[in-house]
Amino acid sequence: MKTLRLPLILLVLIALAALPWYGSDTLVQFGISTLLLAVLAQGWNIIGGYTGYPSFGNSVFFGLGAYGVGIAMVQWQLPFAVGMAFGVALAVVFAVLLGIPVLRLKGHYFAIATLALAQIMAAIVSNVPLAGQNIGLVLPPLNDDRMFYELSLILLVAATLTVWWLTRSRFGFGLIAIRENEEGAVVMGVDTTRYKVLAFVLAGIFSALAGGIQAYWITFLDPASAFDITLNVKMIIMAVFGGPGTILGPIVGSFILSAISELLSSEITSIAGLFFGIVIVVAVVLMPRGLADVVQRFHKLGWRYFVDNIRTNRI
């Protein structure tokens, strides 16, 4: 089974890379948004899935990356690549300055502490003239969906390879040790503060790059859209649905949920708004470890897998 995994992944990657040449414009645009959501889910997977810290503040990094590109291109007339670097720099500085104090909190205290970050940052940016305040910024248009699609795919591959490296590196083992037993990790000699901050920074880098691509693709930027808290909810749901703490789980979750959400939005709009709420309940009660765990254990336990989870996670 494992011998077939790599060729299958390569075939899927080739098919995705070729999509702009055989797919419709609508499909390519859907692909861009889905790939960027997968990047965000994979970035959250680093801090939430492998480190065990459920961050609700990763959308702040997305917004900082978007504003880095917007400010560089609109206010300073600099190239897109410079704007991406500026956005990443903003995200890294923010992750370090915020991560050192906030990552000392644990569990729901950490989640609550990060929950309001997006709204706070939106309020700050809306009062900064360089960022366009509440009016926002209009970026120079570039009608090249193929380029944005390929950039998004490359970014997703880079994020996934980084997660794959985590599963085989000392740094990644340290993050897993923190997730399983942080006190035990300290006893084993893991510098937990440094590891957690680095994981937060790594998640912030990929989120910021996704935000930069999104900003240039959409060509409009304002505080409400850049620091949208629902974006953070989506990336968490997609990672949890696919399987947190796995390499491909967040990607599979993003692709499946994005496709279903898009179908419901176009066919049954009244249900589309409730979709992610339903997914949360299903994921928490029936498969708290995501689809990846279902694939691994269902053939052994059968339907008892879901029965056991319902008993354990009953409300």
**Tokens 């909810």 found at:** 233
pTM: predicted TM-score of the whole model, two decimal places: 0.90
Question: Per-residue pLDDT tens for 222-269?
Answer: 999 999 888 988 899 899 888 899 999 999 999 998 888 887 776 655
**Tokens 């990336």 found at:** 235
Distance CA 159, CA 44 (A): 11
Reported as a pLDDT band with limits 50, 70 and 90, residue 112 is confident
Structure tokens at 277: 């709420």
**Tokens 């065990």 found at:** 52
Distance CA 235, CA 133 (A): 27
Q: Give the residue ranges of DSSP H helices in the chain.
A: 2-22, 25-44, 58-70, 80-102, 107-115, 117-125, 145-166, 170-180, 182-187, 192-218, 223-226, 229-242, 249-267, 269-272, 275-286, 290-301, 304-312
pLDDT score of 287 more than 80: no
Is there a domain that residue 270 lies in?
no
pLDDT score of 89 more than 70: yes
Give the burial class of 266: count Cβ atoms within 10 A of its Cβ; 0-12 exposed, 13-18 middle, 19 or more buried. Answer: exposed
Residue range(s) defining the domain that contains residue 172: 28-228
* Domain count along the chain: 1
Return the closest-CA partner of residue 243 out of 290, 287, 280: 290
Is there a domain that residue 287 lies in?
no
Reported as a pLDDT band with limits 50, 70 and 90, residue 1 is very low
The type of residue at 148 is F
Return the closest-CA partner of residue 242 out of 94, 58, 42, 93: 42
Is there a domain that residue 108 lies in?
yes
CA-to-CA dists, residue 5 to 10, 76, 163, angstroms: 9, 46, 17
Give the 3-state secondary structure of residue 137: strand
Q: Residue 66 in contact with residue 231, Cβ under 8 Å?
A: no
**What pLDDT is attached to residue 151?**
97
**What pLDDT is attached to residue 306?**
62
**What pLDDT is attached to residue 241?**
87
Is there a domain that residue 252 lies in?
no
Is there a domain that residue 5 lies in?
no
pLDDT score of 284 more than 50: yes
Is there a domain that residue 183 lies in?
yes
Cβ–Cβ contacts within 10 Å for residue 255, how many? 20
**What pLDDT is attached to residue 222?**
93
| DSSP symbol at 131 | G
Is there a domain that residue 304 lies in?
no
Q: Residue 42 in contact with residue 250, Cβ under 8 Å?
A: yes
Q: What percent of the chain has pLDDT over 90?
A: 62
Q: What percent of the chain has pLDDT over 70?
A: 83
Is there a domain that residue 239 lies in?
no
Question: What's the mean pLDDT in 6-18?
Answer: 88
